[in-house]
């Protein structure tokens, strides 16, 4: 693992959370997953962060359209404590996973990004580049689901007269497409 890259990434997240008006937190207990080639974007999720709270922090920079309230979202990782995941550092969702169903992803042992992780990645990416994630497709947040099993999809939203924004909608688990793709993550 590239210790310098990890330390720089943690420093960047600490600065982002401070810029959002949140107090510092202790990184000493944060479990950092093993880094693998191609997975070089660290995403740090603060304890207690929900998709709704991340959306609220996004509002000074972009509009967020939510098909429904996000409080009912269940995710594959708990925010009871801070945690970190590695993702591929690219604007588009993982082309390698195009067309794979949830069952195929699980059978292949692929862990996928949840909604809060995608929203945080999108916010940080936008603040760094002034560009949106997923300019040509959308992220299928397979690591999250609603009580009826629907999976959130996040992508740019230029509808409703907004120049900069994202939209969050839902899809059934059995309908992946080339324009809706998951993002793999590495977890501790």
pLDDT given for residue 49 in this prediction? 87
Rounded Cα distance between 185 and 160, Å, is 32
Residues 6+ apart with CB under 8 A from 95: 181
pLDDT given for residue 114 in this prediction? 97
Question: Which of 186, 164, 169 lies closest to 33 in space, CA to CA?
Answer: 186
Question: Which of 185, 126, 183 lies closest to 157 in space, CA to CA?
Answer: 126
> What backbone phi and psi angles, to 5 degrees, belong to 166?
-130, 160
In the chain, DSSP finds a helix count (H) and a strand count (E) of 4, 10
Three-state DSSP at 71 gives helix
Q: Which residues of the chain have pLDDT under 70?
A: 1, 158-164, 173-176
Find residue 7's DSSP bridge partners. none
- pTM strictly above 0.75: yes
Query: How many other CB atoms sit within 10 Å of the CB of residue 180?
Result: 21
Question: Which of 1, 97, 4, 84 lies closest to 43 in space, CA to CA?
Answer: 84
Per residue in 46-93, pLDDT (tens digit) is 998 889 999 999 999 888 988 778 888 899 998 888 999 999 999 999
Span between the terminal Cα atoms of the chain, in Å? 13
Question: Which of 175, 185, 135, 168 lies closest to 51 in space, CA to CA?
Answer: 168
Query: Which helix (H) or strand (E) element contains residue 125?
Result: helix 115-129
Domain ranges in the chain are: 3-187
Query: How many other CB atoms sit within 10 Å of the CB of residue 3?
Result: 9
């Amino acid at each position: 693992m590239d210790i310098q890259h990890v330390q720089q990434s943690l420093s960047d997240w600490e600065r982002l959370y401070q810029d959002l008006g949140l107090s510092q937190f202790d990184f000493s207990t944060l479990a950092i997953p093993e880094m693998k080639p191609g997975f070089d974007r660290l995403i740090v999720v603060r304890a207690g962060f929900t998709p709704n709270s991340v959306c609220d922090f996004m509002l000074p920079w972009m509009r967020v359209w939510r098909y429904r309230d996000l409080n009912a979202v269940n995710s594959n990782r708990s925010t009871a404590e801070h945690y970190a995941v590695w993702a591929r550092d690219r604007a588009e969702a993982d082309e390698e996973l195009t067309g794979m169903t949830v069952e195929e992803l699980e059978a292949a042992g692929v862990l996928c990004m949840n909604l809060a992780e995608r929203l945080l990645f999108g916010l940080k990416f936008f603040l760094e580049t002034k560009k949106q994630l997923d300019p040509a497709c959308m992220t299928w947040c397979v690591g999250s689901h609603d009580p009826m099993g629907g999976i959130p999809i996040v992508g740019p939203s230029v509808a409703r007269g907004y120049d900069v924004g994202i939209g969050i909608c839902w899809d059934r688990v059995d309908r992946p497409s080339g324009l809706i793709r998951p993002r793999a993550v590495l977890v501790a």
